[in-house]
Each structure stands twice: as C-alpha cells, then as structure tokens.
A and B are shown apart, each in its own frame.
Chain A
Amino acid sequence: MSHHVINRSKAAKHDHWLVRWTLIAFAVGIMSLLVIGPLINVFYHAFELGVAIWWKALVDPNTLSALRLTIITAVISVSCNLVFGFAAAWAISRFPFRGKALLTTLIDLPFSVSPVIAGLIFVLLFGASGFFGPLLEFANVQIIFALPGIVLATTFVTFPFIARELIPVLEALGPDEEEAARTLGASAWQMFWHVTIPNIKWGLLYGVLLCNARAIGEFGAVSVVSGKIPGRTDTLPLTIEKFYQSFDKVSTASAFAVATLLTGLALITLVFKTYLETKTHQSTQRESVMDA
C-alpha cells in the first residue's frame, strides 16, 4: 500500500492556476458522479419508503440469518487466510528458496479468477455430480448448498489479501530484530510474539481489514455454491439479490436497506484503512529515523 504525501516540490507551483483548478474541478466532479453519487443513492432508495420499511427489512428473519451466515463465513475465511498469509509471507520474506517468484505469482492467482469460476470449481469437486459427490453422499456430508461450500468459495476468493499485504511489510522490516532475538536466546514462539507480530501489526490489520471487506461482500462465488436457500444459505449480498428480484417497491427498498448495512460496513472499512495507512507510514518513518 502507498502512503499519500503531497509532493510540494517547486514543480507543482509551475502549473498555471487555471490549469490547476480545472483539473481539480474535473477530478472532483467525476469522482462525485462516479463514486459519491452512487453512494448517496443507496441511502436515498433505502429510506424512500420511510424508516419503518428500512427497519423491517433489517430485522426480517431471513436478513438476520443471512447476517449470521455472512459473519461466520467472514470469520472463518479471514482466520484461515491469516494463518496462511503469515506462513507464506514468513517463508517468502525470510528464506531463500527456488521457485519463490512462482509461488508469489501463484498466490495472486485467485485475484484473476472470475468469482463465478471460484464457485464452479467447488461445485465440480463437491457437488452431487462432482468428483467427491458420491463419497460425500455416503458420509452424509453436505458441502455445496451449505456453510462449508460458502466458506471454501469465500476463502478462495480472499486468498491473496493478507499474504500480499504481509510480504512487503516483512521484507521492508528485515530479519535483524528477529535474528537478534534468537541470538539472545528467544524461542521461536517468543520471537514471533514479542518481535515479529508487534512490528507487523498495522500491516496485518490492514490485510485483515481488506480480506474481511471482500469476504463480506462476495457475491458471484457464493451465488454459485450456495443454493440460496432463504434462512439457511443466503448471505447478505444474496439477500439483496433476493429482495431486488421481487420487483415491488417494498422489496426494492428492502434490498437497499440491506445494502445500507453493507455500505456502512464499507465506509467503516475505508475509515480504518486510512487510519492504518497513516499508522504504517508513521512506523516506517520511525524505522528509517532510527536506522540513520
């Protein structure tokens, strides 16, 4: 991630003020139309029929169970990817080995896979006609059209986030402090807990935040594996779809009501993201001052 500092070089002042303000107006205008407008529109349509309808949509039993399912899925996916992300970042940033570039590229693979395909592959594996279908039926285990399938698809889609965040952080950090800790007799666990983790905590939180936002909002992959059984395998984004596809005014407002929930979460994510970016910027600045 980048820290966004104003480049107050003399060059910036070379731009004629007319040029400057035209460009600023253009950027602000387009961003307002493209980003802010749609954002406000969500809230407008959610409250179009009044607060009562909005609230009714949120406390609807299907919405609440979708909320529960979304949260459980996000917690499991993020936790698994957190463990993986740390392990992969540790291996990649601290040790030399052959095929490192390949591994790094493969970690990015889920980013380039369409969400629908992410869902498809698990249906192919665990669906009734899938490779493991008969075995699962024999063991009476349900993966597709149930929580495990949703978790698998979501974990796949959010796979790279934490690893991609931690790799540059650990690389920039360097192994010096950790090696020092080891030579002073720290066990592996002590080293991780008292040296590594505190140093990467902002990058870690940042990665968890992004991973979480994506996990909560995932639509395509979950849509394929879930079967959309209301009250059982609907996540919040799927609930939005369900409300929206009933084309009456109340249902549309209800769809937007659930959307406000997710939008609110997105806005909170943005705020935390900015906060964490400043924090990481501060700590890397502190590091360079200390090294000087």
Chain B
Amino acid sequence: MAGRVQKALPGFRLSLGFSLTYLFVLVLFPLGACIVKAASLTPEAFWNTVSAPQAVAAYKLSFTVSFIAGLGNAAIGLVTAWVLVRYDFPGRRILDTFVDLPLALPTAVAGITFYTLFVPDGWYGRHLGFLEPEGFVGHWFGPEGWFGTKIMTIDTRPYDGPLAIVLVLMFVGLPFVIRALQPVLEELDAEQEEAASILGASRWQTFRYVILPAITPAWLTGFALAYARGLGEYGSVIFVASNIPFKTQIPPTLIVVKLEEFEYAEAAAIASVLLGFSFLTLIAINLLERWSRRFDPAG
C-alpha cells in the first residue's frame, strides 16, 4: 500500500474540522466583524476616536490600575504561594481552596461586596477615614496637599476612586500569581538549597541567589496573567468606581457608552485598539510561559 498512511486512531479529520469551524464561527468571524466595522471609519475618524482625550485617559487609567494591582498580587502571591507550598499549618488546605474563590465568584458579586466593604460605614471603610479627602492621607494627595499640588492629585478613597479599582482588581487577579508559582515552588530542587547552605549561604542569600532566579519566570507569568485579567475587567469595576470620564472610566465602560449612543463604528474602533493590546499581551504571556518552561528545574 504505497503512500497510504494508516492512522491507528480515528476521528482526525472530523475533530479538527469541527474544531476549526467552531473556532472560526464563534470566535474569529465575530472578532473579524469588529475589525471590519472599525475599518468602516475613515482613517482620520478612526484616529480621532481612539486618541480622543477621554479614550486616552481611559487607557492610562486601565494600564495603571492593572499594573499596580498586578504588583500587589505579585507580592501577596509570592508570600502566599511560598507559605502554601513550604509550610504546614492549621487551615492550610482551606486557604488553598479559597485562593480560587475569585475565579468562581461572579464579578458583579465581587463588585458590590467590595464597594459596601470600603464605603465609610462598611466594615473596612470605617477604619480607613485617613483616606478620605479630610483625612491626613487623603488631604496630602488632594488638591490642597503637598503631593496633590506639587505632583498630581490622586483620589485616595477606597471606594468610587481609582484605589477602589486597584483593590477589586487585586481580588480578581489574586489566583493567577499564586497558581503560577505553586508548581514551580513544588518542583524546586532541595539539593540546591542544601548545597548553598553547606557552602555557607545565609537563608536570605539562598533565597535571593538560588530560589528567586528559579521562580522568576513563573512569577512574571503570573504577574502578566493578573495584569491581562485586570485590563479587561468590567463587571466588578463598574460597581466599585463611579465611572466618571477622565477620572474613573475604563475603556470597556467607554465602549458601552458609545454603544448606548449608537456609535457602533466608534465602539468597534476602541474595541479594536483594546484587542490589539490584548493580542500583544497574549503573545507576551506565551513567550513568558515558554521561557519559564526552558528553565524548568525538573525538565
């Protein structure tokens, strides 16, 4: 039977064909429609829409809060992953389970609970009076304070303001860093740490020079995933922040505004820009994941 490849397993053409069709119809075609709609604007109109001050303010806000939330997640995530993998303590399993709560909890629920927690009469808010405009931190960052006048005014309230978005994004992105770090921490070679210790390294030196380089790729991947997650987040953000243009409006909210005004092409234009950023982030994450696999200690 010259030239005939006998595949032992069935269903290649069917499974691949179905998958590609489904992917195309449900994902690629609709996304393409968005790009096409955006392209129906003249280049000038397109540029005016996506570079409008309101839009730029929205991008800047989104990048900033997602970045800060990502940093917070990176710090908390490292400590939590370390503690979960390395130590045993009562409630460890429960803690491990709850790490995934942000993945299972609807974003709208996260939004309303965070908002009511941080308003002045909420459980947390009542202790955070110093962040109010009259409080000492709020005043310092406010329009009359040192930081507010010399550098820039920041609304430091943990509700309605950018800080509120950071807090809820930290909730939403928390699992990503932890779950990225855990497998790598588990597979760390104990021998390397023991060798370092035998050679006279202090515990901190061992951490800094042996462990940290090994987990950095996974750490960065987790950060990037949390960051990417924060960029697109909508459901929780609209409940915690007041969506004021130029102050607390994120790009998805801007898209919804355009939709409500029936400016479909403009909405599609902004969406296309966001899709472009998403795509770049996706590539970056894929590269990061490949980099961390190259340095897999077990590999």
Contact = CB atoms under 8 A, between A and B. Distances in A.
A90 B11 contact: yes
Interface string B141-155: 000000000000000
Contacts of A106: 23, 27-28
B199 interface: no
B8 interface: yes
Given A16-B203, A23-B79, A41 B282 contact: no
Nearest to A239: B108
Interface range for B: 35 or more
B46 interface: no
Given A91-B15, A94-B12, A95-B16, A11 B106 contact: no
B102 A183 contact: no
Interface of A: 2, 4-12, 14-16, 19-20, 23-24, 26-28, 30-31, 33-39, 41-42, 44-45, 80, 83-84, 86-88, 90-91, 94-95, 97, 103, 105-117, 120-125, 127, 129, 131, 152, 155-156, 159, 175, 178-179, 182-183, 188, 191, 210, 213, 216-220, 223-224, 236-237, 240-241, 244, 252, 255-256, 259, 262-263, 266-267, 269-271, 273-274
A213 B12 contact: no
Contact of B235 (A87, A97, A219): A219
A123 B233 CA distance: 19
Contacts of A125: 29-30, 33
B95 A27 contact: yes
B193 A45 contact: no
A274 B97 contact: yes
A23 to B, nearest CB: 5
Interface in B111-149: 112-114, 116-117, 122-124
Given A41-B123, A87-B19, A90-B15, 18 more contacts: A6-B85, A14-B193, A27-B76, A38-B114, A114-B231, A114-B274, A121-B33, A131-B33, A159-B26, A216-B106, A217-B106, A217-B107, A219-B235, A223-B234, A224-B259, A266-B105, A270-B100, A273-B104
B209 interface: no
A152 B15 CA distance: 21
A19 B206 CA distance: 14
B44 interface: no
B4 interface: no
For the complex of A and B, list the 9 residue pairs with the smallest distance between their C-beta atoms, beginning with the closest: A217-B106, A114-B232, A219-B235, A9-B190, A220-B234, A116-B252, A121-B30, A188-B10, A266-B104
Contact of A262 (B15, B29, B83, B106): B106
A238 B160 CA distance: 20
Interface stretch (B47-55, B241-249, B262-270, B291-299): B262-270
B9 interface: yes
Contacts of A252: 116
A182 to B, nearest CB: 5
Contact of B112 (A7, A12, A255): A255
Contacts of B110: 38
Report whether over half of chain B's contact residues are helix, strand or loop; otherwise say mixed.
Answer: helix
Nearest to A125: B33
Contact of A95 (B12, B33, B124): B12
A122 B12 CA distance: 30
Contacts of B281: 112
A268 to B, nearest CB: 9
Nearest to A86: B15
Nearest to A1: B179
Report whether over half of chain A's contact residues are helix, strand or loop; otherwise say mixed.
Answer: helix
A262 B105 CA distance: 7
A108 B76 CA distance: 26
Given A121-B31, A219-B108, A259-B109, A116 B255 contact: yes
A228 B88 CA distance: 48
Contacts of A42: 109, 112-113
A119 to B, nearest CB: 9
A10 B86 contact: no
A205 to B, nearest CB: 15
Contacts of A91: 12, 15-16, 19
Given A2-B183, A88-B15, A217-B106, A34 B234 contact: no
A33 B259 CA distance: 37
A95 B7 contact: yes
B68 interface: no
Nearest to B7: A95
B194 A41 contact: no
Contacts of A191: 9-10
Interface string B27-45: 1111101100100000000
A237 B255 contact: no
12 contacts: A23-B83, A24-B83, A26-B83, A91-B12, A103-B20, A112-B228, A113-B275, A117-B271, A155-B26, A217-B106, A256-B112, A262-B105
A47 to B, nearest CB: 13
Contact of B194 (A11, A36, A87, A188): A11
Given A31-B98, A91-B16, A259-B109, A113 B31 contact: yes
B167 to A, nearest CB: 8
A84 B16 CA distance: 10
